Structures are given as C-alpha cells and as structure tokens.
A and B are shown apart, each in its own frame.
Chain A
Amino acid sequence: AQKITQTQPGMFVQEKEAVTLDCTYDTSDPSYGLFWYKQPSSGEMIFLIYQGSYDQQNATEGRYSLNFQKARKSANLVISASQLGDSAMYFCAMREGVNYGQNFVFGPGTRLSVLP
C-alpha cells in the first residue's frame, strides 16, 4: 500500500492566487514527520516546510503553510500568492518512527503550473 498519496498529478493556478496541494499518508507510528519539497525543472530538491506529528500548530514558512489534519492523515501544502517561479514538481515525504533517515518515504509528486 502507498504510504504517501498525492492524488493530483497536475495542478494549474493563476498568478497571485492561492493553491492547495494534497497529501495523505498512512502510518501506525505515533511519531512521524512530514516534509514538503519543491523540484524545479533543473532537478534539485528544495526543502519547503516541516510538520511533526506532535506539533500543536500548523507549520508556516513565508508563503507556504501546512493544513495538517491528523485524524484524517492529511498534510496539504498551501501556497499563497502564487508566483511564476512556483511552477515545479512538489513532493510530500514522511519520516516514520524514530529519527533515522532510512524511514523517509516520498509521494509521487504534483506538477504545479502557475499561469500569468
């Protein structure tokens, strides 16, 4: 079974509007972390935002925020005021259990296209 699901293969958004990229996850471990990365066409992976399973508040980082709904096992990324430079692939990833990197799992990604 997929541990990370990103149901939107592609998304379009108008410049300056907000967009939500979906991510649902599957784990039975009470301790986990969720990470979002951006991958431009050049290929590098850029870390955007982190949400821990015990965090009481939704994470925010500039124009990025996480809509974390623990009971629904979802961690959707919200990008406010979209810019043309936001066009990229976006990956949701989960770290399960203790703080060891081997337990990172990546979703299939969502391709975001920002329209002028």
Chain B
Amino acid sequence: DGGITQSPKYLFRKEGQNVTLSCEQNLNHDAMYWYRQDPGQGLRLIYYSQIVNDFQKGDIAEGYSVSREKKESFPLTVTSAQKNPTAFYLCASRTETASNQPQHFGDGTRLSIL
C-alpha cells in the first residue's frame, strides 16, 4: 500500500543535541511538507519542498533544517537552536496535478526534551 512513513514514533532529545526525524513516501508525490503541532493547536508549517534539491522555509523554520536529496525522502533535523522542540511533528506529501488533491499525512513523531 502506498503511504507516508514517519519514524521514530517517539523521540527524546537531550539539551544541545540535534535529532533527525525521518519521512519517506511511496506515493510518487512531488511536494512534501513538515508541520509542527502543539497541544490543542493547529498545524504550523516548518518547511516544504516541491521538487528534489529545492525547499522553502515555512512560518516557523528557525531552529530546523531539511534536505530533499530524493523524491521519496524529506528528513527534518531539529537543531539545538530550537529551544522549545517538544511537539508533535507531522510530515505530508501531495501531488499538485489537480487543485482538489489533499495532503497525505504520516502518523507523526512525538518529540520530547529529556
């Protein structure tokens, strides 16, 4: 079955440590996104990528970095510069062949500070 796989499901970060969240899709979608969700709130865009080797900052990119070396993969690194990283992180992908196409989401990664 096609879909989006995020790993790990739970992740713990120590002070001063960088951690990387994995996102892989086999839907052949060009566009991929990373969102952050804080408790009881909506989704805020961190980064997005429309094609390989290209990505743009979203509303809250500070303290995060991404890469898009392959169409299928869009890993997110939470750097030590992100002072409040505890949140639920969702990866999404989308085909932009038609305007009615929704984003498809992974199951998310919950990141906590140790």
Listed in ascending order, the chain A residues whose CB lies under 8 Å from chain B are: 4, 31, 33, 35, 37, 42-45, 47, 50, 52, 91, 93, 95, 99-102, 104, 106-109
Contact = CB atoms under 8 A, between A and B. Distances in A.
B42 A50 contact: no
A102 B56 contact: yes
A102 B102 contact: no
Contacts of A95: 99
Interface string B49-80: 01000001010000000000000000000000
Contacts of A108: 41-42
Interface string B22-35: 00000000010101
A4 B45 CA distance: 14
- Chain B interface mostly: strand
Contacts of A42: 107
Contacts of B31: 100-101
B102 A106 contact: no
A23 B40 CA distance: 17
6 smallest A-B Cβ distances: which pairs? A45-B105, A47-B102, A106-B42, A106-B43, A99-B99, A43-B108
A42 B40 CA distance: 14
A64 to B, nearest CB: 13
Given A43-B90, A50-B100, 4 more contacts: A101-B31, A101-B48, A101-B103, A104-B45
